[in-house]
Every structure is written in structure tokens, then in C-alpha cells.
Structure 1
Amino acid sequence: GLWPGLLLAVRHNQCLQQNRIRIFESGLGFSQDGASLHQGVLLAGVITGTLTPEQWGIKSQLVDFFDAKGDVEALGLHRLGAVVFVAAEHPALHPGKTAKILCNDQPVGWLGAIHPEVQKQLDLPTETLAFELNISALARGTLPVFQPLSKFLPLRRDIAIIIDKNISSSKVLDCIKAQRQEILQDVLLFDVYDKGLDPAKRSLAIGLILHGLDHTLGDAEINSAVSDVLRNLQDSFGAILRA
């Protein structure tokens, strides 16, 4: 892969007193599938240091896993299909801070924090996040299809559900999207809450973006769509609507 060269570049820049580093590289790399070795074009990136340049108006904070995930999402992979980040393990990455990147259910890359042992060996002072994408695999994706713009405004309905803590939020969002409701345009998670709840439970607050492309949505249609989502979550995960 491309990570070794990028990490050496990070260490070199930190020796030059650069404490906010974001670098990327593209090139040929190899991946192993059983006994077979495959060559492909890779795109890799590494970030470390502070999230924003030093200034008086914003408190300084270090980059984390979700900042790196945001960088990957900003590449527009969702335009090639359904992209999900699945918890996984990689020998070069931190256990518990590693995700395999899937596009249309096919593995296309990795994302995570560099393993503490590797970080120690390279004498990297702050947590370093890295991603690597197989551009050759992504090139097989389908191009997006233009959808006519609607003159009708979208609506948002928020729901809060209580589920088991061992159920990932990504599974919940994927479950909602898999319903493929015609008027359900987007789904977003905007809050996670567990105070005052059963220790084995947590609450997820989810926004449902509803949009009729050729008509204004009525209350009956909106309520029916929300009820279908809640019923599906209850059947799939035993979710309970939070009062």
C-alpha cells in the first residue's frame, strides 16, 4: 500500500515543526485475495494534528476518526453507489478505530487510526488517521443519473428511538434506506443519547427528509411514511419510539 511512504512524510514534516498535516498520494498498489495478488490504482491519505489552524476564536482540538471519515465522504463516493463503513480489523490500524469501506457491498478500501505500536515506532506525537481506496474497483461503479428537480419543498420529520447499544447506527440508517420509500429522500442521524436509560440501551435521534417530486405531501402521506419506518425498525431491531 501507500501508507508507509505517507507516514514517513508525516514524520519528516513534524520534525520540521509542522503540527497540522494533510497529505495524499495516488499510485499502483497490490492487494491479496487468498493466494492471488492483484494490482490496482490506489488513492491514500493521512491526516494528523489540529483540526483547524490556530486562532483565538476556536478552541484547538485534534483530528479524529470522524474527521478522516468526512474527508473520504467528501470525495463523492456515494455517487457511485451505496457506501458504508463497517467496523473491521486491519494489522496496521488501531483496534476499535478501523472501518472497511464498502461500495455496493464490495470492499474498496480502509479507514482508521494508525496502530499505536506503529505510531510509537515512528515517533508520531499525535494520533494519525489514514485511508486507502482502490480506485480501480471504484471505476467499475455506475455513473449517477440525473433526476428532475422538483418545485415542491421537502419536509423533515424527526423521530427518536431506543435500541440496544450493540446495534450500530449505520445498520439502523441502512435499514431505513433499504425500504426505498418513494418520498423518503434522505436519512440523517443527529443525536445519540444514553443518560437515564437502561445501561444496555441508547437513544438515536433520526431526521427523515420527505419529498414529493410532483406534488405537495399531505399529512396522511407523511404520517404513513413515518409509521412504516417505525414499524420496520421495530420488526428489525425491536426499536421503541422514545416519548
Structure 2
Amino acid sequence: MAKLSVNINKIATLRNSRGGDVPNLLKVAADVQKFGAEGVTIHPRPDERHIRYQDARDLVPVVYTEYNIEGNPVTKFIDLVLETKPTQVTLVPDADDAITSNAGWDTIKHKTFLQEVIKEFQRNGIRTSIFVDPVLAMIEGAKETGADRIELYTEAFAHEYGLGNHDGIKPYIASAELANKLGLGINAGHDLSLDNIKFFKQNIPGLLEVSIGHALIAESLYLGLENVVNMYLQKLK
């Protein structure tokens, strides 16, 4: 069974929209774990427009499952990760003004930089994952960086699946097969939903973890958070 890590960025966005503390981010993090999620994901950005850096610190004693912090490894982000020491750090090459992540790393072009960052995190006992497109050369490049895992960027799959094109899974299968061969763990995320998660999980060999936020929170508006978390867990079996 692949693990479900719930990305709670959207909860922070809703909270920030009113300037108070409703909904309470820490309570939601505690609740999703109580409901069965095996991890909590956050993705702080430099402008702190949803998750704030202080949130990352405040979540440390609350997250008793897997704590995954995503982000672009600029100095401020690296310092935050080394301070909070999450279970996993996922490196994402998003620009400061990106609405959401929209591309994986060029692991060949940025090999030396990624190697240096990853070594520092691993020296501190933090598992490392690299956000990548389903391109075989980028998977091979990820292995060269020394990363523990890759996170497959699944927007293209989700788009094609929504159009009824199940062949959109093929690059992901090939990437997963190569990652397994190279000894890289496999995570996945972006636009995965209740509609497509079962098909994705059934076709990706060795899938360890999915990180889901936007769809899960949106679905919870209609179906309830506890119910939706458990619906994902059933589909990931």
C-alpha cells in the first residue's frame, strides 16, 4: 500500500484569507493523522502566502507520522529544513511567483547543486526526494545526485486521464521501472484525485507515497475530511 501524505497548504490559504487562525492548521494536521493519513506535507514559499515558516516549526510536535517539507532549496528554505528536521524534504524548482509547482528538476543541468544540498540534508538524517518529470534521463540524473527518492510530477497524467486517455500513464510506468532498477524510492504528486488515484497506483510499480492537497481539500468540502482521507486510503490499497 502506498502511503498517503496530506498537503495542508490549502488550509493555510483559507486561514490567511481572513487574517486569523480559522481553520486552525495544527488541528487539521492532527486530525488528518487521526483519520488515517500516514503523513503531512507542507510547501512553504518565500512570500509565505499560504504556509508560513513559523507553521513549519509549530508542526514539528504535532506531526507524529511522516513530515514532508517541499520547496525550492534557497538559503532560507535550507535553514528551515535543517532547523525542523522533517522525515523528508522534497526539492522542487518552483519560481518565487509560481502559483503552484509546474515543472520537475533538470537533474543533469543542476546535478552539482543538488548533490551539495542533498548531502547536507542527509548528514542531518533527512530523507531526500527530487521532484521530476517522467523523463528517463531525469530519473538517471536524480540517481546521480544521491537522492533517496524521486517524486513524479503527475499533472500530465492527470490531464490526459481526465480526457479519457489512459496511455498518459505510460511515461510514468517507464520512469517507475527505471527508478526501481536504480534503487530510487518513488513518490508522486500534483493533480492526483479520487478520480485517478486508484488507476495511477495500480499501474506504478513500487509506488511508496503520494502527496495530495488541492483535490483532497476540495473534495472534502462536499464529502467531509475524515471520509475523504479514508476514501483515498481504500483506493491506495
**Same fold, judged at TM 0.5 (above):** no
Structure holding more strand per residue: 1
TM normalised by structure 1 equals: 0.25
More helix as a share of residues: 2
What TM-score do the two structures reach when normalised by structure 2?
0.25
